[in-house]
Chain A
């Protein structure tokens, strides 16, 4: 049953990928999509497919998987239904570090960004986790710690942008969260980090399963609590840092997908994580396609679309009965 579901999800992912290559400012017929993917004649639709749409789709694929997995791991780690990298300030931390790098150190290449994004994501995720009360964290406390960190960091980001018009010009497109500037070089640089993150996350499924039962039970079952926590934090940092460096902060993917997946799979992380890996890119690429269609010929950045879809989902979760007893 769950295996069939996973197959259906993979089919869905393929459909969205094709849509992502075919739909846009210029619609491309399916036969040309097929042709362009394998033969680049150097003109017409082949160029669009080869140089624009395929990289964009690939980037959406890996970034989506990264964000969804990061959210699932984070929710399991904190045992908190509202944990989400964007909401907990991790993306803001990566942004603040990238902004500093652009403005003060004159870093302009993506290879440069990535390391600063990792640093910012790591520092802020640890900070928020501790401030939120580590293992005793309630959803409210974590969300508030994330909001506070985000607010302070955005104050700083705004200050840097105001003092440096060139940084503003670069950053206002980066901070919105977009796949539009994707190219093969970007993908090549972030893919290794995301690959390591994905493997780590999938390996963590069993220990995280044990931890869901509470620390004492997990300990009795032979799980290494501190090692698992440290690895999980490392995973989240790798995934979020690389994703944010590649296309700016995108919120709510990591919140929505694990909730959706859990309704299909139940609480077993061994199923949740593969499902999240497959379904998160479906959502991200779907949002990207929607963003390209609604304001054609210009486009709505994918970060905006996911926030507009994710906000109501978040509010719904908050209004649910169980959350109301916070």
Chain B
């Protein structure tokens, strides 16, 4: 389906930069500009987010403090309280979007993203078990989420497997698994004490509240390893969208590429979920938006990652400031916006005759 769309896109102006030594790099000027602009937007949103809260700080002061020239009180608020929260949001958004781009590209289906096919619910079962059954702390909850997400990912993939994974079968099997896991989650909620139930509901919604450097480091480490790896596989992934045979003929090691990318995708989404809860729909919408903005075919991995970070920070800003005194968790905003976006996607895909 997406392969058809790839063919239909008109040939674009893509420049090649060559060095005297014989090395050359393809550069899509529009995509590069989009990535740079979005990165600037992420930085700006980050500065605004650090500056807003019960103790407002002006953007100028935020930047001065980040560069090490701030007042001691602001130093503490910025560097110990708000900066880690923003960094977690940024890294989680980028990881989710990257993983979404991978799965959408591999299933050749804009709906084949990890949150539609049940990873979020799987991670939630793991985390809720840790909270409710084992009364675990933050580390146990994060561990439970990773285990639950990975197991669900493998199970959905195996259940959808029938001489290859067909895009829509993957989505529908994922919906079925998600319904079962949701029931399990509801059951776990009824077993909990009211305090645990509140904690579990907050976790299930996805929130950046109270995140500190302890959450930043594992995320940063994972991203440092996996993001370059995934970006390196960007070109083989684009070949894969044309079908296994064509990709094989073009010299792409099909199975290895797919295994490496899917493994990375599952780990990215699992670690991100462990850090911030199953924040809904970033993985679904960021790659699609990135594709529309860059107007280029293929997975657009870098643009998707930056878009995800931008979306998550903006959603968090809306969630914390738009409702007056009450601060909602970011997952509420991303869930409602993302659900509406998914409905819109269904309408347009249908008008275009693709579903």
Report which A residues bind B (CB closer than 8 A): 82, 86-87, 131-133, 138-141, 143-145, 147-149, 151-156, 158-159, 161-163, 165, 168-169, 172-173, 175-177, 251-252, 300-301, 303-304, 306-308, 310-312, 314-315, 318-319, 323-324, 326
Contact of B190 among A132, A301, A308, A324 (CB under 8 A): A301
Do A311 and B177 touch across chains, with their CB atoms under 8 A apart?
yes
Determine if B336 is an interface residue (Cβ-Cβ < 8 Å): yes
Do B332 and A301 touch across chains, with their CB atoms under 8 A apart?
no
Tell me the bound Cα distance from A2 to B172 in angstroms. Answer: 33
Tell me the bound Cα distance from A144 to B168 in angstroms. Answer: 10
Do B331 and A308 touch across chains, with their CB atoms under 8 A apart?
no
Q: Which residue of A lies closest to B340 (CB)?
A: A152
Determine if B133 is an interface residue (Cβ-Cβ < 8 Å): no
Q: Annotate B199-223 by CB proximity to A: 1 below 8 A, 0 otherwise.
A: 0011011000000000000000000
Tell me the bound Cα distance from A15 to B158 in angstroms. Answer: 39
Which B35-84 residues have a C-beta within 8 angstroms of A?
Answer: none
Tell me the bound Cα distance from A91 to B147 in angstroms. Answer: 30
A131-B346, A145-B346, A173-B190 as given contacts; A318 in contact with B335, CB under 8 Å: no
Do B179 and A87 touch across chains, with their CB atoms under 8 A apart?
yes
Tell me the bound Cα distance from A315 to B315 in angstroms. Answer: 34
Question: Which residues of A are found within 8 Å of B198, using beta-carbon distances?
Answer: 162, 165, 168
Do B180 and A307 touch across chains, with their CB atoms under 8 A apart?
yes
Which B314-355 residues have a C-beta within 8 angstroms of A?
Answer: 326, 328-329, 331-332, 334-336, 338-340, 342-343, 346-347, 350, 355
Do B190 and A143 touch across chains, with their CB atoms under 8 A apart?
no
Tell me the bound Cα distance from A154 to B175 in angstroms. Answer: 15
Contact of B281 among A151, A177, A308, A326 (CB under 8 A): A151
Do B201 and A315 touch across chains, with their CB atoms under 8 A apart?
no
A158-B331, A159-B328, A324-B169 as given contacts; A145 in contact with B355, CB under 8 Å: no
Enumerate 13 A-B pairs (CB-CB under 8 Å) in ascending A order: A86-B179, A139-B172, A144-B342, A148-B342, A168-B201, A173-B190, A176-B183, A301-B186, A307-B180, A307-B184, A310-B180, A315-B159, A318-B176
Report which B residues bind A (CB closer than 8 A): 111, 116, 159, 162, 166, 168-169, 171-173, 175-180, 182-184, 186-187, 189-190, 194, 197-198, 201-202, 204-205, 280-281, 326, 328-329, 331-332, 334-336, 338-340, 342-343, 346-347, 350, 355
A134 to chain B, nearest CB (A): 11
Question: Which residues of A are found within 8 Å of B339, using beta-carbon distances?
Answer: 148-149, 151-153, 155
Do A172 and B346 touch across chains, with their CB atoms under 8 A apart?
no
Contact of A251 among B111, B179, B204 (CB under 8 A): B179
Tell me the bound Cα distance from A154 to B331 in angstroms. Answer: 11
Tell me the bound Cα distance from A169 to B198 in angstroms. Answer: 9
Question: Which residues of A are found within 8 Å of B202, using beta-carbon distances?
Answer: 162
Contact of B280 among A82, A155, A252, A312 (CB under 8 A): A155
Task: Given A145-B346, A159-B336, output 20 extra A-B contacts at Cβ < 8 Å.
Answer: A144-B171, A148-B343, A151-B281, A151-B335, A152-B343, A155-B339, A162-B198, A165-B194, A165-B198, A169-B194, A173-B190, A176-B183, A177-B183, A306-B183, A307-B179, A307-B183, A308-B183, A308-B184, A315-B177, A324-B162
